[in-house]
Amino acid sequence: MTPKTCSYGCVYCQVGRTIKKSIKRETFSQPEVIFEKVEEHLKRLDKENYPDYLTFVSNGEPTLDINLGKSIMLLKQFGLPVAVITNASLLFNESVREDLFQADWVSLKMDAGDNDTWQEVNRPVHGLDFEKLTESKNLFASEFKGILCTETMLVDGVNDFSDNFINVAQQVKNLNPVKAYLSIPTRPPAGFSVKAPDPEKLNQAWQIFSNMN
């Protein structure tokens, strides 16, 4: 397996520390190999265990794989919807948006409502810009025809304050997703000490998101 490659180094990342921080798309996989492996696996499954979705969750950020669009198209031959969970940082790149348009379900990461909080929680690679990120998410959401969701990871003492809840909820609202998930770190990430916000903060976040959307 290639070392974890991502445009972010999130404090809660369960894949571990980012070995290679990058926004350069590269060949990380061969679509035909992914197709064959999935085909072999699906053949072994009985009806009860057959998946609802085929989901891309890579060792880092899946949109860094230059072959993502081709892989999605191949997997769609199985007749199952294809999902991609992305940190959304490469959406400024038209080829990334085009690849994701092939998917049936896309989840965008939405942890921070301002640049300082973004730097703290997602620790982006140098060169990314928060305003551009927000604009490109809006652009993608306005053009994507599939099911759009967002996911917001809440971390104690990092992004669990009311201004951030309000700012993120507003930005999520602008995207008009089918669902906006709030999540908390449950498994210990490698190398960092993070924990979930206390129940009062979680309740506050839920109230703000519910009232905004």
Whether 5 contacts 107, CB under 8 Å: no
Segment interacting with ligand SF4 (CB under 6 A) among 3-11, 75-83, 139-147, 204-212:
3-11
Q: According to the 3-state scheme, what is the secondary structure of 9-69?
A: CCCCCCCCCCCEECCCCECCCCHHHHHHHHHHHHHHCCHHHCCCCEEECCCECHHHECCHH
Cα dist from 147 to 56, 107, 166, 178, whole Å = 15, 8, 24, 6
In one-letter notation, the amino acid at residue 18 is T
Pick from 40, 26, 34: nearest CA to 75: 34
Q: Rounded to the nearest whole angstrom, what is the least distance from the CB of residue 46 to ligand SF4 in the complex?
A: 32
The reply on whether position 65 binds ligand SF4 by CB under 6 A is: no
Which lies closer to ligand SF4 via its Cβ, residue 78 or residue 192?
A: 192
Q: Rounded to the nearest whole angstrom, what is the least distance from the CB of residue 18 to ligand SF4 in the complex?
A: 5
Which lies closer to ligand SF4 via its Cβ, residue 8 or residue 118?
A: 8
Segment interacting with ligand SF4 (CB under 6 A) among 11-19, 113-121, 129-137, 199-207:
11-19
The reply on whether position 177 binds ligand SF4 by CB under 6 A is: no
Q: Give dist(CA 83, CA 77) in Å, integer.
A: 14
The reply on whether position 6 binds ligand SF4 by CB under 6 A is: yes
Whether 204 contacts 162, CB under 8 Å: yes
Whether 84 contacts 103, CB under 8 Å: yes
Among 61, 65, 99, 160, contact with ligand SF4 (rule: CB under 6 A): 61
Among 15, 125, 202, 212, contact with ligand SF4 (rule: CB under 6 A): 15
Q: Rounded to the nearest whole angstrom, what is the least distance from the CB of residue 122 to ligand SF4 in the complex?
A: 6
Q: Rounded to the nearest whole angstrom, what is the least distance from the CB of residue 73 to ligand SF4 in the complex?
A: 24
Q: Which residues bind ligand SF4 (CB under 6 A)?
A: 6, 8-10, 13, 15, 18, 60-61, 87
